[in-house]
Structure 1
Amino acid sequence: MKFKLPNPGLEDRILSYEQLDSLEEKEAGDRPKWDNKTQYMLTCVGFCVGLGNVWRFPYLCQSHGGGAFMIPFLILLVLEGIPLLHLEFAIGQRIRRGGLGVWSAIHPYLTGIGIASMCVSLMISLYYNTIIAWILWYFFNSFQDPLPWSQCPMNANSTGIVSECERSSPVDYFWYRETLNTTPNIEDDGGLQWWILLCHICAWSVLYICIIRGIETTGKAVYVTSTLPYVVLTIFLIRGLTLKGSLNGVKFLFTPDLAELAKPSTWLDAGAQVFYSFSLAFGGLISFSSYNSVHNNCEQDAVIISIINGFTSVYAATVIYTIIGFRATERFDNCLSGNILALLNMFELPEGYITDSNYDQVVQRLNETSPEIIQQLDLSTCNLRTFLSEGVEGTGVTCMFCCLVGLIFLQGSGNYWLSLFDTYGGSIPLLVVAFCEMFSVVYIYGIDRFNDDIEFMIGHKPNFFWQASWRVISPLIMLVILVFYFITKVSEKILYKAWDPESDNFPTLEEKLYPSWIYVIIFILAGIPALAVPLVAVWKCVMTKKRDKLHIDNIADQIQINDEIKKIPA
């Protein structure tokens, strides 16, 4: 028994196969195209591979028993990530519209899916550019000798080193005090930090230039931006493997603690990581595929990029864990406690280390290499391009608005706000959007039509794996993750970790409760994008009924007028 919801007018909203072939032959249409397949693939790799692979994946491995986390990650990558990636590539290539236009073409009531993707892309672009500003700040400071985070500064009287640095470490002090000037709680804003503000403006200026240049120009940059990070990681890996004890860290990474597999949190984090590392449900991948030839093999693309993405996550984790093994051996610390070496200090190994309390921030600092700066700028460009207008003026106004909103991350409490955005802005909305995408294609657009589209584009219909994944397995996995995510978040206290020199446990980050008003912010971050899908559908439905009623009333009035005219004697 097949289930498909009614969808009148679909044939009028999408191009027929004959029209697609005609446009292909004439090279017509108002959409630009990729110069070649390599440019397209590298752009997709640059969009998918980023901080999620280098920063988030190794941290989750550390939190969930090393190799144990790889098992659910790889399982969900196959059952959840690859099917949705193939679906986004195929639907964008078939309908030939961006992340917003695709869903309105399938059905006007589905416009909210594109709007939700837009909102998530906007929020993530806001704090990604803040990370880029931090990266630029470290990049500029890396030309000093000695490095400013390699030793503690003297106090005002030059009678000794600063107490806060002495009680923590030079790396922590430079990050929390010299860079962020962190406040002890989120309620104390601490004012703007002008040095980060300048880097912030610089980042948004470069991003604006990247956006207005379009894929014709920025597409060529991916030859460098998508490949150099692998060169840098390889250099770090070679350096790491020369260190004493590095193989102990690698052994821990690939030795699973099977008890972790029984914990729901391990599977939940693995599912969320698949979305994060693939950049699924952002709308960017749909936009990219819409610039392809209509007969491009999107199935092959999805498999290749998935393999590259999974490999990059494991490869980056291996690089990180060579350093973990070294630090555990050198300092006689347990790797699980999180005391590892920052890649920032890769070539000044005795001088810098990080703890589990500031793992996120310091691993972000490894991105101070210029290839990673460009790659993250490219990612922000792709995120923003999913909803920006083509006009230079509109793009400039939007970038200026985003730059102003991003000032919230440049305050002394900005680090806490960024963590809040990262935790709630890119979790629930992405799950909702991804579920709606798959449900819409299978049950509103129609799985049979979708199969015919793929056969038209690549020459054969999807096999049993794709069919089972799209129809049942992937939507069910996403629904289970979403339900358990809600259960987990509702049952736990909402805490954040604060850098407070007055705390008794300093330099350990102190866990504090968010103020009560933060729930309003969480609803704005997570609730509004997720609710955009049903709210837009209801609004479209109401407007359609009003328009139909008005049309009927006009017809009735016209009939009445005609009847009255007939009654007039000749």
Structure 2
Amino acid sequence: MESLEELSDMKEDKSPKQLQKSHSLLWRIKDIQASKTQNYFTETKKVEAILIQVAFSVGLGSMWRFPYLCHLNEGGGFILTYFLTLLFLGVPLLYMEMVIGQWLHMDSIRVWKHLVSWLGGVGYASILVCTLVSLYNSTLISWSFSYLVNSFYHPLPWNRCPLQNISVTDFSCLQTVSHQHFWYHSILQASGHIEEGVEVLVLRLSLGVFAAWVFLFMLMVIGIKSPMPMLIFSIFLPYILLLCLFIRGLLLEGAVTSLRRMVTIEVSTLTSLDLWRQAGGHVLYSLGLGMGTIATFPSYNTAGNECVKIALFVALVSLVTSVLTTSIIFLVLGFWASNSGQACVEKSVLMLMKLISKGILPQAAKPPKDILLRPPLDYLDWISTLPQHLQYQVIRLSLSCAITVQKGKIMEGPGLSYAAFSQAVSLFPGASFWAIVFFLALFITGLGTLIRLSEGIVLPLQNTIPIFIKHPKVVPVIVCLGGLLSSLVFSSEAGSYIMCLVDDHVVPLTIAVIMIFQNMGLAWIYGAKRFRQEIFSKLGHLLLPIFTFLWCYVTLPGLLGLLAICLVQLYHRGTPYYVAWNSSASQEVRQPYLKRDLGWVTFLSILTLLPIPVYLLHHWWYFHDPIVSDTSKKPQSFRKTAMRLTKPLQWPKRPMGKSQNKGSKTSVRALSPPTTKVQDVDSWQPTDKDLKEGQLERSLVHSVSD
């Protein structure tokens, strides 16, 4: 085939007919090149949208929230419950939001105003949920940032007892693993109760929160968009590191036993309502459902049932990431359990004997001969009888293991992943380098999640509120400043307990209510059959009948059941508890929430869901006002009323194999609202102009079909 330059040089030597042929050949080549470029651009954007959704679902909870919930609920039973809930609840709802976003290309506020006008408040409630989640996600970023800063020390500070916090009579670091001690004492500086230390901020965490919101503000004001290589790097780097940690963890002592406990399913645990509540809530949370981010950022138009594949792929990646991360956590927990109690005493005595034989410690530090025959607490009593300088040296050189045998689990709180990861990275040669890379990856993943959440807040407000439409730069300022000030609550000494209260009770409850309204509004008010017709006429492909069945008869009852369990567990099944730190005993303890704490749950839940009834009352008042009713005689209001009062449309009778242009014309004609169905407009008569336009439209349809 001749090149474009050769064809252009031969124009003058050819006859007009030949010149016309060469021109047509040129345009055909350009069209082919343009179509290839367009296809490549579309495919690139589609892959980018999929990667963004995957990064959002993975970073939102798969790497820190799922592991401690799984450990709290005895491993295998929680994984099975989560898988069933993900399959029958998460995937259909994720597919529903994806299809809505692909169809309408609107933000989370305008979507529900368009589908069901009186449910417009659902979009505002989604923004408030997004705001709550973004507040304590900035705290997660500050946790990663604190570990990243400490990773530059050699040796790593969490491998030994922190010298600056130990006195001659303080044996708290010997009563637990040093990684847990470092988490509560150095990172969180946690108080003993949720009521203590709310006014006292932790400086390191506050600086991390400040840095996260300032960085986010700069990105939103400047408008920097992360390139595709950076997005791929931020997704695949954590997976590479997790695989390395998993392989290394398999070689630890007690690893096989711990993995066996992780996959063991106890049938009695499946009857626990709290298990189903936490599994269902995490499905909604991890996929980002009800937050408006999926509908606001739809993937590029895809043919056929591509959204089904995307939804299944995102759910599968989230499940695999959660199980892989949880496996690493259980490997570390097995290692801690096998080296606690009497085993810890034996290893500590052996280490002391080696140090004495090398001359590092004097003979006065030699333990009694029968120390191994005594209870583990006698080892601590013996250390307390040593002189002051020997106590200091023994504590400083102690191993990272728990002397006291702890009843139940070694660690249950939300910081389990951070403490276990700090143990896992310290097992590699060059541990500081691995710690820097790993916590940097966690920091980048958290920032990506925070950026996506903030865009889900800013963009709908910029497109909906009139004052923000005129001044769009004001929205990032308000969001980032308000987010910074509100996030400081979670950086206090009791901030981790407050975060558990919001994350475990407020967010799942509000998301469940929002998803109930969304599911009910689409499946039963707007109509699942009508929705299928609209998707067919707009996107040119059919929805699978199984999903419309699930939306009507499975997901909605499941969401109602989840909401009922949340309310029962919160108000009628005893007092909920949180995991606190007892510094004197160096152990985690379960503390019940006070009534005023549960009052904050009620207040925040009502405040978040308040836009739904407020907008409903506003809509009812507006359309029942007699002054507003008179405006229905105007042509513009008449057309809006006609669109609202049309009955569900009939399924197109033309088969799928017909011409797409012909089918689209027929579907467009079928979707035009019949004006004679509207009440109070019987006196309306078509004009000559309307008749001419109707004849012209019918002639165009017949010409296209012929």
Fold match by TM threshold 0.5 = yes
Runs of 4+ in 1 over 6 A off after TM superposition: none
Alignment of 1:452 with 2:452, yes or no, is no
What's the counterpart of residue 583 of structure 2? 501
8 Å Cα contact 1:47/1:378 also seen in 2? yes
Q: Which amino acid aligns with 1:373?
A: F
Relative distance call for 1:273 and 1:328 in structure 2 (3 A) is: same
Give the conservation status (yes or no) of the 8 Å contact 2:45–2:300.
no
Distance 1:358 1:488, change over 3 A: closer
- 1:57-116 CA-to-partner distances (Å, cap 9, x unmatched) read 233333333222222221111110110000000001101012222111213311111111
| Matched residues, number | 508
Q: Which has the larger radius of gyration?
A: 2
**Selected match of 1:428 from 502, 505, 509:** 509
CA contact (8 A) 1:109 1:540 kept: yes
Structure 1 residue 549 corresponds to structure 2 residue 603: no
1:112 aligned partner: 121
Partner Cα distance (1:248, 1:183) in 2:
34
In 2: Cα distance, 1:358 partner to 1:248 partner: 19
In the alignment, the residues of structure 2 paired with residue 380 and residue 316 of structure 1 have an alpha-carbon distance, to the nearest angstrom, of: 21
Q: Which amino acid aligns with 2:521?
A: S
For residue 183 of structure 1, give the secondary structure of its aligned residue in structure 2.
coil
- Name the counterpart of 1:180: 188
Where 1:217 maps in the other structure, the secondary structure is coil
Pairwise mapping of residues 331-350 of structure 1 onto structure 2 (< 5 A)? 331=340
1:248 aligns with 2:288: no
Compute the displacement of 1:403 (Å).
Answer: 0.3
Match of 2:468 in 1: none
1:370 corresponds to 2:379? no
Per-residue deviation, 1:215: 8.1
Q: 1:186 to 1:435 in 2, by over 3 A?
A: same
The residue aligned with 1:414 is: 495
Q: Name which of 302, 305, 309 aligns with 1:300.
A: 309
CA distance in 2 between partners of 1:481 and 1:65 (Å): 20
**1:211–1:154 CA distance, 2 compared to 1 (3 A):** same
1:192 equivalent among 201, 225, 243: 201
1:369-518 pair list within 5 angstroms: 369-389=439-459, 391-456=472-537, 459-491=540-572, 492-501=574-583, 506-518=585-597
Matched, 1:351 2:430: no
Distance (Å, rounded) in 2 between the aligned partners of 1:218 and 1:481 = 39
8 A Cα contact 1:57 1:317, kept in partner? yes
**Helix, strand or coil at the partner of 2:554:** helix
Cα distance change, pair 274–464 in 1 and its aligned pair in 2 (3 A)? same
Residue correspondence of structure 1 range 94-133 to structure 2 within 5 A: 94-133=103-142
1:300-319 paired onto structure 2 within 5 Å:
300-319=309-328
Q: Distance in 2 between matches of 1:493 and 1:522?
A: 13
> What code does the residue aligned with 2:550 have?
S
Q: Which moves more between the two structures, 135-144 or 257-266?
A: 257-266
Structure 1 position 51, deviation (Å) = 5.0
**Residues in 1 aligned to 2:509 and 2:146: alpha-carbon distance in whole angstroms:** 32
| Counterpart position of 2:698 | none
- Local SS of the residue matching 1:360: coil
CA distance in 1, matches of 2:145, 2:506: 24
Displacement of 1:49 after TM fit? 1.2
The 1:260/1:519 distance shift into structure 2, 3 A limit, reads: closer
Counterpart for residue 535 of structure 1: 614
1:238 maps to 2:308: no
Which residue of structure 1 lines up, in the alignment, with residue 89 of structure 2?
A: 80
Matched, 1:526 2:605: yes
Secondary structure at the counterpart of residue 200 of structure 2? coil
What code does the residue aligned with 1:401 have?
A: G
Moved more, 89-98 or 72-81: 72-81
Distance change >3 Å, CA 394–CA 383, structure 1 → 2: same
Helix, strand or coil: the match of 2:578?
strand
5+ long unaligned stretches in structure 1: 1-24, 335-349, 556-570
SS of match in other structure, 1:113 = helix
Select which of 46, 53, 56 maps to 1:44: 53
Task: Please tell me whether the aligned partners of residues 290 and 511 of structure 2 are also in contact (alpha carbons under 8 angstroms).
Answer: yes
1:326 aligned to 311, 335, 346, which one?
335
What is the rounded CA distance, in whole Å, between the counterparts of 1:399 and 1:222 in structure 2? 23
Deviation of 1:312 after TM superposition, in Å, equals 1.9
Deviations 1:446-498 (A, max 9, x none): 21222124435665422332122111111011111111221122122143343
The reply to whether residue 361 of structure 1 matches residue 410 of structure 2 is no
Distance 1:271 1:449 in 2: 29
State the shift of 1:370 in Å. 1.4
Are the aligned partners of 1:208 and 1:395 in contact in 2 as well (CA < 8 Å)? yes
Distance across 1 between alignment mates of 2:598 and 2:473 = 37
Q: Does the residue aligned with 1:149 lie in a helix, a strand or coil?
A: helix
Change (3 A) 1:60 1:464: same
Separation in 2, partners of 1:370, 1:474: 38
1:32-55 Cα deviation digits (max 9, x unpaired): 989522211110101111252222
Per-residue CA distance 1:513-540 (angstroms, 9 max, x = gap): 4444334421232222234322321222
Give the structure 1 partner of residue 218 of structure 2.
Answer: 209
On the 8 A contact 1:150/1:352 being kept in 2, the answer is: no
Q: Unmatched 5+ residue regions in structure 2?
A: 1-34, 344-398, 423-437, 463-471, 634-706
Q: Is the 8 A contact 2:126 2:290 kept in 1?
A: yes
Q: Distance in 1 between matches of 2:487 and 2:269?
A: 38
Could you say which residue in structure 2 is the equivalent of 1:282? 291
Answering whether residue 173 of structure 2 is matched by residue 165 of structure 1, we say yes
**Residue 218 of structure 1: how far off its partner (Å):** 5.8
Partner Cα separation in structure 2 for residue 65 and residue 320 of structure 1: 13
Q: Is residue 92 of structure 1 aligned with residue 170 of structure 2?
A: no
Structure 1 distance, partners of 2:546, 2:623, is 38
Structure 1 pair 187–375 and aligned structure 2 pair: CA distance change class (3 A) = same
SS in 2 for 1:146: coil
